[in-house]
Amino acid sequence: MMKEKKVSSRFIYFFGAFGGILFGYDIGVMTGALPFLQQDWNLESAAVIGWVTSAIMLGAIFGGALSGQLSDRLGRKKMILISAVVFVIGSVLSGIAPPNGHIFLIVVRIFLGMAVGAASALVPAYMSEMAPAHLRGRLSGINQTMIVSGMLLSYIVDYLLSGFSTTMAWRSMLTMAAVPAIILFIGVLKLPESPRFLIKNNKLDEAQKVLSYIRPAEKIESEIKQIQEMAEREKIANQQTSWGSLFTGKYRYLVIAGVGVAAFQQFQGANAIFYYIPLIVEKATGNAASSALLWPIIQGVILVLGSLLFIAIADKFKRRTLLTLGGTVMGLSFILPAILNILIPNANPMMIVVFLSIYVAFYSFTWAPLTWVIVGEIFPLMIRGRASGLASSFNWLGSFLVGLLFPIMTASMSQEAVFAIFGVICLLGVLFIRVRVPETRGYTLEEIEKFGESKQLKRTGA
């Protein structure tokens, strides 16, 4: 029997949100550390730079996939605690990497990435299972805000630590990622287990007790019954479907739409900016990347403001309209610098950074949050677990490849040319939205499922 005293819903939502901050912090911290690491280890190999940066996303691909299965066995709370411990260990090991220990750091960051991938899947799942139904729609936007707030926090900490010696700067930046992980661990220790997990494991008394913390007494029994019915439907779905079911005629259309949106979000190149903005500024201006750490903060502020804008407008515009607007401006922001560079060879080199800021602004309130809104809405119940996992894996794969390949590409061609390639991918993403993705705002999950069966694209116009 559970012994927790009543836990306030605010406490639960705060530490649920704090998981997003931790996730964002660890994604962003290498942005400021990399220029100092390059100086300290005399890193000139574009491939090594790419691997050190992107290793965390490689680990996340596996962490996200494993966490879903393990959390069904061990519980959401226990898996978040395990992820926090891995965060702490991985952060400390990163900070004490042996001199010129490229392989050591890459392996440690793959290990750390498993926790990042797990947190990215577990925290929103825990939050949605604890929150009442009328708040679940906002959680995607709030979680996005917390992730980008974590990124901004990491950029600020990097900037504040940049006054240390070259060696101490990057080591302290990477080690400091342990601090929010420790805070998360302490907070989650006091949280109750998800009632959904307890009910699925026949711990009905404990589930009632948890729900009594966060629901009015008169709603507890009906919610327990609803969770039991949904668990039974999911069990039947898992028995009747397989990975092959995702690509049968009945589901193929919606699976391609959801997985495609998740993949395009990363292949459009946003993470090239977030991971490498100091190096981009260095290449554009000739100044040392370690002196360009204000730029990540600027990008972080734009991301946070954009995520807040999305929360304000999310339900006022169609999903396809926002994705079309965002993708078009993002594509032009990448392509125009290449055109202007040809027309005006002596143009100010910082022009590209201004265009990148425009890209980040539009990405922050369109593709960044809407991808996960669509992934949450578009898959029918019978395939939702597998299809969501596949979409997440493709998203992390795109993030990994962009992080790995960007320094290699810029070593062999101009930055403008590399971003122009990403710009073309952005415009292809818009075309994909217009042709392959149905509108989901305002439709029930059952109606969206019928779109997949009938492919009635006439009803999907933005």
Domain boundaries, the chain: 8-191, 242-462
Same fold, 8-191 and 242-462: yes
Please, are residues 385 and 246 in contact by the beta-carbon 8 Å criterion? no
pLDDT in tens, 227-271: 888 778 777 777 777 777 788 777 888 899 999 999 999 999 999
Please, are residues 122 and 19 in contact by the beta-carbon 8 Å criterion? yes
pLDDT of amino acid 138: 65
> Which residue in this structure is represented by tokens 């491939």?
47
Q: Residues 432-437: what's their mean pLDDT? A: 93
Q: How far is residue 58 from each of residues 64, 109, 395, 396, measured CA to CA in Å?
A: 10, 9, 11, 7
pLDDT in tens, 294-311: 999 999 999 999 999 998
CATH superfamily of 8-191: MFS general substrate transporter like domains (1.20.1250.20)
Least confident of 72-76, 135-139, 314-318: 135-139
pLDDT band for position 455 (50/70/90)? low
| 242-462: CATH architecture | Up-down Bundle (1.20)
pLDDT in tens, 169-226: 999 999 999 999 999 999 888 888 888 888 888 888 888 888 887 787 777 888 888 8
**Other beta carbons less than 10 A from residue 53's beta carbon:** 26
Q: Pick the residue with more confidence: 358 or 120? A: 358
Question: Is the C-alpha dihedral spanning 227, 228, 231, 236 positive or negative?
Answer: negative
- Mean pLDDT, the chain, as a whole number? 86
SS3 390: helix
Residue among 144, 137, 26, 138 at smallest CA distance from 86? 26
pLDDT in tens, 24-66: 998 899 999 999 999 999 998 999 999 999 999 999 988 887 8
Please, are residues 169 and 21 in contact by the beta-carbon 8 Å criterion? no
Residue 458 has pLDDT above 50, yes or no: no
Instruction: Kindly calculate the radius of gyration of the chain based on its CA atoms and give it in whole angstroms.
Output: 22
**Cα separation, 311 vs 317, whole angstroms:** 11
Q: How far is residue 79 from each of residues 127, 298, 361, 413, measured CA to CA in Å?
A: 14, 34, 34, 43
Residue among 71, 82, 80, 70 at smallest CA distance from 196? 71
**Cα separation, 210 vs 201, whole angstroms:** 14
Reported pTM: 0.87
**Cα separation, 294 vs 122, whole angstroms:** 32
**Cα separation, 256 vs 306, whole angstroms:** 27
Residue 409 has pLDDT above 80, yes or no: yes
Q: Pick the residue with more confidence: 428 or 11? A: 428
